[in-house]
Amino acid sequence: MTKLSVNINKIATIRNARGANNPNVVKVALDCERFGAQGITVHPRPDERHIRYQDVLDLAQVVRTEFNIEGYPDARFMELIRTVKPAQATLVPDPPTAITSNTGWDTIQHQAMLRDIVAELHEMGTRVSIFINSEAKYFEPAKATGTDRVELYTEPYASVYPLDREKAVQPYVEVAKLATELGLGLNAGHDLDLHNLAYLKQQIPQLEEVSIGHALICDALYYGLENTIQLYRRQLEL
C-alpha cells in the first residue's frame, strides 16, 4: 500500500496572507488525518513564508499519523528534528530563496555531507529520505549515505505526462527498480495530481509514500477537503 502524506504548506500560506489564524493549520492537519490522510508533511523555510517553526512544534503535539518534515539540513532544521523527532526527515537541497523544490541532491558531490547528516538523524531516531532526481548515477551514492529511503522528484514526470505518459514514466521505472535492488525505500513527490498519480503508482507499485500538497489543496477548493483526500487515496488503490 502506498501512503498518502498531505503537505499542508499551502494552508499556512493562506493563513499568513491575513496575519491571523484562519485557516488554523493544526485543525486542518487533524482534519486531513480524520478524512483519510496517512501522513502530514511540512516544509519550514528560513523566512517562514508558509509553515512556521512554531507550527511544526504545535503539530508535533497532535499529529498521530506519520509526521514528515522536509527541508535543507542547516543547523536550525537539525535542531528542529532533534526536538520534534518526526517519523521521517526528508532532506531537500533547497537554497533559502527557492520558491519550491526544483531538483534533487547531487549525491555524488554531497555524499560525505549527507552521510554525516543521515547518521546524526538516525541517532535522533528519525527515518531519513533523500530527495533525488531520476538518474541512475545518484542511487548507489545515495545508498552509501545510509539513508533509508529516497524521494523521487516527479516534476519532470508530471511535465511530460500529458504528451507521452510512457516516456514520462520510463526513467522512474528504471531507477525504482535500481532502488529496490539497492534496498532503498521509495517515496515520490512534486506536481503529482489526480491526472498523473494513478499511472505512476501502477508503474511503480513499490512506492511506499507520496507527498502531495499544492495540487491537492487546489482541488480541495472545488471538491472539498474530505472528498479530495478520498479521491487521491483512490488513485493509489487503482
Mind telling me the catalytic residues?
43, 70, 190
- 149 φ/ψ angles, rounded to the nearest 5 degrees: -140, 165
Assess contact for 28 and 4: CB atoms under 8 A: no
Assess contact for 153 and 104: CB atoms under 8 A: yes
Query: CA 55 to CA 12: how far, in whole Å?
Result: 9
Among the listed residues 182, 174, 140, the one whose alpha carbon sits nearest the alpha carbon of residue 157: 174
End-to-end CA distance of the chain: 11
Assess contact for 187 and 210: CB atoms under 8 A: yes
Beta bridge partners of 69: 42, 89
CB neighbourhood size of 74 (10 A): 11
Beta bridge partners of 131: 151
Q: Spell out a b/e string for 118-134, using b for 16 or more CB atoms within 10 Å of the CB, else e.
A: beebeeeebbbbbbbbb
CB neighbourhood size of 196 (10 A): 22
Beta bridge partners of 89: 69, 128
